[in-house]
Amino acid sequence: MKNKVLLVGLVAIVFIAQSCFKHELQDADYTVYSVYEEIVNPPDTFNIKMDLQPYRELSTTIQFEDSAVWKIYVSPPSKIPVWINLYEEPDLKFFINDTEQILALTPDVKYEITGINSINEGQNTNIMVIFEKTNLDHKSYKFPL
């Protein structure tokens, strides 16, 4: 009996741990990253999954290979604050939670994406921060500092 309980517990731990790592969705053409990993040279379309518990802040860092203009938005739309900032300048925040934003991001710069659930409704809030590379000219946009 103890062996069955141990086996069920191990299987549960494996499923939980698996959800914390990057994985490809089988029926989708984009990558979903966990907020618990650093993201380096992501593809042209990717999502960052955030499972925010009440009064909890989650963040991850992103570095890009090339200069590009990105469309960034949160799905589903949420009142939970989500922002992007330069990793070296954490006080210079650009909020992306309430509207779609178009930002020019450059290589070899580390950016930080942060979400904080300050609403105590007793439930977790699952959001996706979605990045889509555009064909817009990088020089016509800039990261707002």
Bridge partners for 63 per DSSP: 40, 110
pLDDT tens track for 19-73: 444 433 334 578 999 999 999 999 999 999 988 777 788 899 999 999 999 999 9
**Torsion sign (Cα): 83, 73, 102, 39:** positive
Q: Residue 93 phi/psi, 5° resolution?
A: -100, 140
Decide which of 3.60.15.10, 1.10.10.1100, 2.60.120.330, 2.60.120.380 is the CATH code for 2-136. 2.60.120.380
CB 17 within 8 Å of CB 81: no
Given a cut of 80, is residue 143 above it in pLDDT? Answer: no
Find the mean pLDDT for residues 5-17: 48
Residue 120, helix vs strand vs coil: coil
* pTM given for the model: 0.74
pLDDT tens track for 73-99: 998 877 788 889 888 887 888 888 777
CB 54 within 8 Å of CB 123: yes
Please report, for the chain, the start and end positions of each structural domain, with discontinuous segments joined by +: 2-136
User: Residue 13: its pLDDT value, please?
Assistant: 52
